[in-house]
Structure 1
Amino acid sequence: MDYMKHFIDRFVFFLRYDKRLLLSFCITLAPAALAYFVEGASLFGWSLSGVGFIWLLYESYVSYIAQRKGHAEKIKFPTHLSRRLPPHAFLVKCNDGVAISYSSINSNLDALRISFYTIDGHYQIPQNIREIYGNIFNYKNIRPDTTNDEKVRLCSDIDNELSTSHQDISLAIQKTDYFSSYITNEAGNLAVRRVDGSSRANGIDYYYRDGRILALSESSASNHIGVSLLVVSSDGYLLYQLQGEQEQGKQMFGPTASGSLDWADVEKAALVGGNDFSRLVRIGMLRELTEETSALELDPQGKIRLTGYCRYLTRGGKPEFFGFARVSQRHDEVRIVPRRERKKVSRIETYKIDCKSRVSFLQSLSAFHKHIKSQMIEHTLSLETSAILLERYIRELSDDRYQEIMC
């Protein structure tokens, strides 16, 4: 069943942009369906393998054509962007990854009243990108067991002025999918060149043009919303993970939980909180936490604190929200329980944090930051950004507010 799910996901995605696949599918499926009525389910299942064979031939054809037209290669982040940042913006760098965050938004994010509204229809990959998707898939070598889940695209920006003045903010979202992000956002650090070496497409164009970083409302990328969460246990341990076999951050240290909003999160948020965007983000964070670990119970306050927001420039300007929470379990009670998540998480790591005061917490967090940088295993940009934004969030709290949250 998993094999068919992966096949159907890929088939539906490519069918949306390449109608030639429909003919090959129907030609193969017709005798398989006939065999079901003549010989029964076993022959039908055997005949379906022919669909997979046709699919492999088609993927080989796409790869061959893509290679004849050119190839994709990794490009370095343009350093001159560091000198042209908008006010209140700062960059976070880790390994080859670069993110941009905004202190004016982060300072008010947890208290902002943000609503969302839905744009009809499904996100469509621009025509110029459809012409080179074969090059990108060849370079990225997407895992065959990756499913094309429905994701949430962020179509508008958190306005700096509105966030500072604490006015109500309304954000537009739209349904998208994981593969669309792979073709657009994940090509943000790639250039596609023709056989003669001339440029055919540049991933920088997804987020930077005419000397400025593009707003989400101007971006042609999928821009599905990512979430990252750091958790401290009841006995004062910061929990983070060694990530497993996955597309992003393979075998690297990452936050306690990270992933992206599913469209099902939007449907759940609509049931429990109407169009509250902050609630939607927290629902996604909690789902990722419970999918990847056994940390099911939040602290008595029962709240995830939103510590910040960024856009991953080396991932085409993809938006990401960050959070922090206390859980009721001790550190040795939090484990990787669901079998299906073992590929995502290899093991849970811990680091002792002194939570007695705001100052001691900041000192422990600074020591943790140095600790992960000293390890032989690399850590993800999401963990780097999570630690920096959490430190900034705690630093801006009053001592009384800190005690209210942590105790």
Structure 2
Amino acid sequence: MGKLTRRARARADYLGFMGAREWPLAASGLGVVLGVVTVLPSAVGVVLSVVALGLGLATFTRDVRLLRRRWAGFAFTAIAAPFPTAELPPPSAYPPSEYLAVPARGTALVSAAIDRDLWTERHTITVAEEPYRLPPALKATAPHVLPLRARGRLLFNGPIVGLRGDPLPATGARPAPIRLHRARFFDAVCSNELGTLRITRADTGEEYDLRKAELTDTDGALRELSSSTLADLVGVSTVAFTTDGKLVTVRQSSLNAVSGLLLAPSGSGSLEPRDLRTLGGGPRRFLHTTVCAGMERELCEESGLRPQDVRETKLVGFARWMERGAKPEFFGVTELAVDSAEVAGRCPVSGERLYSAGLTLFDVDLPAIGAALGDGVPLSEALPRRIWEDGSLPLLLAPPARPPRRPGGRRGSDRFAPVLRVTGPLRSSAIVRKVP
């Protein structure tokens, strides 16, 4: 019943979202129905009912024509060209950053300085009281965008968490809290996911390009998340390793809206409001515990693992996915307490089986990969060929960089030593094209 429930919920969410914005049409249709139902077996009642039916039918017909005219007034064109990074430099407030373009997968803005700062686990969070609301310009296009995005996909309007602050390094004192906000998935579909669409008004020829209208600040650089107007849903991904050293990946189904038919990290999705609270019900205070909670939840949902099968998850990186409205992405690495045979026998929870087509495990020697990359070997040659050819952008960005050293020179948790003993970050690989 899990698949049927998810399909019914997706359809209900879609109709509810559209109906809230086209309620006059629904009201006219109701008038027609009431006109038919209230036909009485008397001359006066028949006349009044026929008049009411005629008025309702006329109004309904007019509204349908107006709706079709409004929908026909927009032309949508997919932007297939690579993201124009040369026209959009990183925010000036960011430490040294670079764009990494993976062919046929996407472009990400990354910073080694931000990654290193995240290892210190200093960032606290605060949650806005008011939920996110689409700005007027995006709200006007939402009824036209959602049907286009929902075509051939299974989308439901679940609760998500967006980011309205940048996890930037701070000198000296603890950095200011990073603000989060609650939103719905359709808010992101109708804002961030416009990054690969060009919208043209048929009557005026005016074009709307989200990259220029919403991602560019007054200085011509990429906007910081703190000044963004988009939903900026927080992406969370983790790569998990079994006790016998196997990397767990998830094969995405064709219904997946972003990485359909590609290999995804062991757990990959969006931060949700339930991740903001501890098991005891109290609010989480720190960014790293919050996003790691989301990573482990996604891991358990997509792999069928249980919370007790997870030993530890570390936050190791941050990026902004440019084609998806420069949304924030956090990456982690998870050490499991079970071996590959145990993992291979699991399957996704019922609601996730529509999106996940099963698990694939790989032998991945991260220390050897790190050594190869340090010698200048391209990532396409250092990684197993299947991962490079079929991996989604989050999977290719997720492998961890070198962890911070503890006092006395020791690195992180000893239990993570087999995973984290990498000589250099995979993101510096030559095959992931650096864009000036």
Per the normalisation by structure 2, the TM-score is 0.74
Q: Could you tell me which residue of structure 1 aligns to residue 239 of structure 2?
A: 230
258, 261, 275: which one pairs with 1:265? Answer: 275
Q: Secondary structure at the match of 1:188?
A: helix
298, 303, 308: which one pairs with 1:293? Answer: 303
Q: 1:78 aligned to 2:84?
A: yes
Q: Could you tell me which residue of structure 1 aligns to residue 74 of structure 2?
A: 69
Change (3 A) 1:25 1:149: farther
Which amino acid counterpart does residue 27 of structure 2 have in structure 1?
Answer: L
> How far off its partner does 1:369 sit?
5.4
Q: 1:351 aligned to 2:366?
A: no
> How far off its partner does 1:65 sit?
2.9
Residue correspondence of structure 1 range 203-222 to structure 2 within 5 A: 203-204=210-211, 205-209=213-217, 210-222=219-231
Q: 1:14 aligned to 2:24?
A: no
Q: Distance in 1 between matches of 2:161 and 2:32?
A: 34
**Stretches of structure 2 lacking an aligned partner (at least 5 in a row):** 39-62, 418-436
Q: Secondary structure at the match of 1:167?
A: coil
Per-residue displacement from partner, 1:134-158 (whole Å, max 9, x unpaired)?
4423442345642100111111222
**What is the number of equivalent residue pairs in this alignment?**
373
Q: Distance in 1 between matches of 2:32 and 2:280?
A: 41
**Stretches of structure 1 lacking an aligned partner (at least 5 in a row):** 35-57
Q: Could you tell me which residue of structure 1 aligns to residue 421 of structure 2?
A: none
Change (3 A) 1:18 1:102: farther
Higher helix share: 1
Q: 1:251 aligned to 2:261?
A: yes
> How far off its partner does 1:273 sit?
5.3
Q: Distance in 1 between matches of 2:372 and 2:339?
A: 18
> How far off its partner does 1:380 sit?
1.3
Could you tell me the percent identity over the aligned residues?
Answer: 20
Q: Distance in 2 between matches of 1:265 and 1:225?
A: 11
Conserved? CA contact 2:73–2:203, under 8 Å: no
Which amino acid counterpart does residue 100 of structure 2 have in structure 1?
Answer: V
Q: Secondary structure at the match of 1:393?
A: coil
Conserved? CA contact 1:256–1:289, under 8 Å: yes
Q: Distance in 1 between matches of 2:64 and 2:270?
A: 27
Change (3 A) 1:193 1:26: same
> How far off its partner does 1:114 sit?
2.0
Q: 1:159 aligned to 2:165?
A: no
Residue correspondence of structure 1 range 31-42 to structure 2 within 5 A: none
> How far off its partner does 1:173 sit?
1.3
Per-residue displacement from partner, 1:205-246 (whole Å, max 9, x unpaired)?
332234211011211111111100001110011111221131
325, 339, 363: which one pairs with 2:350? Answer: 339
Conserved? CA contact 1:92–1:385, under 8 Å: no
Conserved? CA contact 2:193–2:324, under 8 Å: yes
Conserved? CA contact 2:124–2:177, under 8 Å: yes
Q: Could you tell me which residue of structure 1 aligns to residue 51 of structure 2?
A: none
Q: Distance in 2 between matches of 1:255 and 1:266?
A: 22
Per-residue displacement from partner, 1:256-296 (whole Å, max 9, x unpaired)?
11000111222447825543322111111111011011333
Which amino acid counterpart does residue 74 of structure 1 have in structure 2?
Answer: I
Per-residue displacement from partner, 1:344-397 (whole Å, max 9, x unpaired)?
221212221347xxx44634898985345566953211112113xx1x235x65
Change (3 A) 1:350 1:200: same
Q: Could you tell me which residue of structure 2 aligns to residue 114 of structure 1?
A: 123
